């Protein structure tokens, strides 16, 4: 746990200012004026009303197609599809796991203090890579006395023990 300044930790009440409402209203009026200007420019041109109606129909058809496509084609794998790691090890079509394609693993969150010198973070990442651990995210938090606290979200092989992970 880190030390916090109690004055900065207190929640500040959010005050609503009328100036923000005025800016939002001005932006709305500007958007309406631009849209009206474009519509008048197109509508008073040759075959302008037909162009406006055709644009509206094209927009509605595109929105409908996008909605249909998003609902029809799910981002999930098809039901009954097995992951390569779910197959038995003796199956001939199962590809061996290589360091470039690690098996489905466990997620870990790790925090560590890293010295503020060149190569210290690189050596930590190299050690994690040797253990076939993927770094999904990294957040750095500088310390006032030098150095940083690095917080990693890691994907490690399921058979990797916690002692091996902390040793890396």
Q: Sheet containing 134-142: which strands, arranged edge to edge?
A: 105-114, 148-157, 134-142
Q: Give the pLDDT band of residue 95 (cuts 50, 70, 90).
A: very low
Domain ranges of the chain: 19-72, 102-167
Q: CA 4, CA 43: separation in Å to the nearest integer?
A: 61
Among 154, 132, 151, 133, CA closest to 143: 151
Model pLDDT for residues 38-54, shown as the tens digit of each residue: 888 877 878 877 887 88
Q: 102-167 domain in CATH 1.10.3720.10? A: no
- Categorize the per-residue pLDDT at 96 as very low, low, confident or very high, splitting at 50, 70 and 90: very low
Tokens of 27: 């932006």
Residue 165 has pLDDT above 80, yes or no: no
CA angle 109, 128, 134 (to 5 degrees): 65
Query: Residue 151, SS3?
Result: strand
């Amino acid at each position: 746990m880190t030390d916090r300044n109690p004055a900065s930790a207190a929640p500040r009440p959010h005050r609503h200012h009328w100036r923000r409402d005025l800016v939002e209203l001005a932006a709305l009026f500007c958007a309406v004026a631009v849209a009206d200007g474009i519509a008048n420019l197109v509508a008073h041109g040759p075959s302008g009303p037909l162009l406006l109606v055709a644009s509206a129909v094209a927009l509605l058809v595109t929105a409908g197609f996008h909605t249909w496509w998003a609902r029809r084609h799910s981002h999930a794998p098809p039901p009954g599809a097995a992951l390569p790691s779910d197959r038995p090890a003796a199956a001939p079509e199962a590809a061996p796991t290589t360091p470039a394609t690690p098996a489905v693993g466990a997620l870990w969150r790790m925090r560590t203090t890293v010295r503020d010198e060149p190569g210290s973070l690189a050596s930590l990442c190299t050690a994690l890579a040797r253990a076939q651990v993927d770094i999904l995210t990294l957040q750095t938090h500088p310390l006032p006395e030098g150095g940083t606290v690095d917080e990693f979200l890691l994907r490690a092989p399921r058979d990797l023990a916690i002692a091996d992970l902390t040793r890396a």
